[in-house]
Structure 1
Amino acid sequence: MTHLLAKSTPDPEKPGRQTTLPSHTALVVLAAETMLDRAAAKTLARAGLQGEGHLQGFRTLARFGALLHDWGKVSGHFQAMVRRGPREQLVRHEALSALLAWRHPALRRWLEGAAVFQGAGDGWLLLGAVLAGAGHHLKFEGARGPGRRGQYGSKGQGTGAPCSSGTRTSSAPSRWGRSSVWASRRRSRMWCGAAMTRTTTHAGARLALAMLGEPAVSTVLRTAWRVKNLDLDPGVGENRRMDYQELLTELRVAIWVDSSQEPGDGEPLAARVTQALRAPDSVTRFGGLSLGESRDLVDSVAPLRVREGEEGDWLLPDAAGEMTLPVWPDHVAWAITRSVAPRKPPPSGEMTTCSSAPNCATEGRRLRRGCPAQSPRRRWLLR
């Protein structure tokens, strides 16, 4: 054995640089530093924790958690697994990482010698870093199913990180015909429009969205379902994970629909929406109208009536934006959908508002507010 591996590789004796344990650890520490620089202060603020003490403690937990998270991969069982395929491990590598950092005398003394752990009381800061590293796969709940052993002795079936949840995202702002549209200040999604079985029916239609006011934001930790192991039922064992979400309360969104570029055949989307608002009983439709998850149904949809002095923030796609929104388009014919940055606000007389349920769950992609021809944070008064 020439190299300690962190990941499987076609040629274990000539691994790529990123697959070795030292290089992988260095890259994870670098990623942690990058994320801390970008998001540490905002993350703590959303949790109601402010001040230099909280920030320094958070940085210490993340840095040392990243440093020691894969120490357990030095074990012979793990090295044999990445070289010769899936096989049973006596102890999962993240559990062994925690044991090495907390119980091995020499390693424990080395960690405690770091200046950041000096004067940290009874060792809670070091313990937090150890737990942060040990929990990076979230597999301590005890897996169930054939061949599973429970907490520390579960079978190791691979070396990759947990897969993402079963949602599909796209850079497209909407799916023609289903009208999936952006709808919140931080993270949310909204279905607002005519449910269609032909996704190209309203190709050429344009949508623009403005957030009205500032919705209240709260945070939750919840369990999310995913598909990690086809042998287990949904939500069981590996097929669930912890998920961080933000909840938006009393979210109001103005939506502009422009059908001037739709093909001439058939009723345009703007006309269908107008008819639906004027005479809801004349519409036959299916599917839910929700903000966030399907449980968060929209309270009301109505023609725009702006409150006195009310301002709206237009949402524009931008990789460096300050808001995160997902888009869940249909899988079919999505390539005909594209993002366009407007140079002026849409005419307010053609707007519609959608108001949220009390809470709207959030998850997704980056946006920024404003208009590139004006200012990155330009706010237009809606009249």
Structure 2
Amino acid sequence: MNTYESTLSRILEERTPIDRPGYYIICQEDKTRFTLEKPHNVEVIHADKFVALLVEGCKEVIRTFEQSSDNLDLYAFCLYTSEFKEVRVYLNTLSAYETTLKQHEAKYPDSEHSSFLKYNPGDYSFQFWAEDMGPAGNILDYFRDLSDYPSLTDEVLPLEAGDQPLIAFERGIVEAGYNLLVLKAMQQLIAEDAFTPLKRTDHFIAYASINEPLLDYSVVMRKTIRRELFYSLFPEVKEKDLLFEEAVSANSKLTAAQYLDYWLDAVHDQYNRTFPYTLNRSAYDIFCQMEHLGSALAEESLRRLLQLAGQNDWASEDYYLASYYMESLFYTGPMTPEHKEICRMLAPMFGVRHVSIMDDEFKDWAEILEAFAA
């Protein structure tokens, strides 16, 4: 299980705020600094400004494509990002897709093509990078540089004498928040009817992609594509959604302990070969199905975390389990005073295991528990 999918989904669903204290500062000579205090005498990019940059960059692409002879039968516009923090725009037209489809069929004569080929940004014929986005692209290029920064931790690295700051970004944007902001930029473009200059098909879609296929199809794309159109374009997804809903309904009466056990195969699956991954669902969907258990889920998860904390030696499976039970706590609703006390007791039990950078998960878990205990 990749619990980061759940963490990222909580951000995309705005269940978890992206605000975090600190600023990453890019300086000349490829230097990056991190400080908890807002830097002076340098432009600071906050969340709203970042969205505005993305919107303006996309509008520049739209203006460029509007003047192109290819501006005909446009069926998809995708604002894309990834873990490497690059920002791109992918467009495709029906004629370009037909060319791609013929090439695909010639290369793979026995394969079955699906809607995923038609709507895969990597197969789109028209691609625009930061340098194609006007002045906004210059700042997005700086943002891309942060993907090369080796640590991205909360270790303070203050500006030194001789540093020449170029630009600063809020920490929350850099560490994961940019995924949500890309989605917000697309939502703003749609709200402003920004695609009107483009000659679109009747089933034109505009969407964001964060280069996480399970999350793109289960969360991100559904935020900007209405349900009926989404299902008409991706009938395979509709079929899998129905199968997922049937399975979830059949398990609706499980206790917290039974639910946590039920998903153990998925917890130990690192290759997305088991349910619900086979139905294009992510770890986030697993936790959402347990949310109705509330306090009972908190109690059972904390009980299991106490057992793990008491072990002297951990196998690799124990790390997966701890991550699973820890993430479950985000779906239990408000903690009771008793559960907060257990969190307060657990935090140092995990924190003491953090002895090197290789044990950073213990440090992270201790901080999560302290936050729940507050």
TM-score, scaled relative to structure 2: 0.21
More contact order relative to length (CA 8 Å, sep ≥ 6): 2
Structure whose alpha-carbon radius of gyration is higher? 1
Alignment TM-score, normalising by the size of structure 1: 0.21
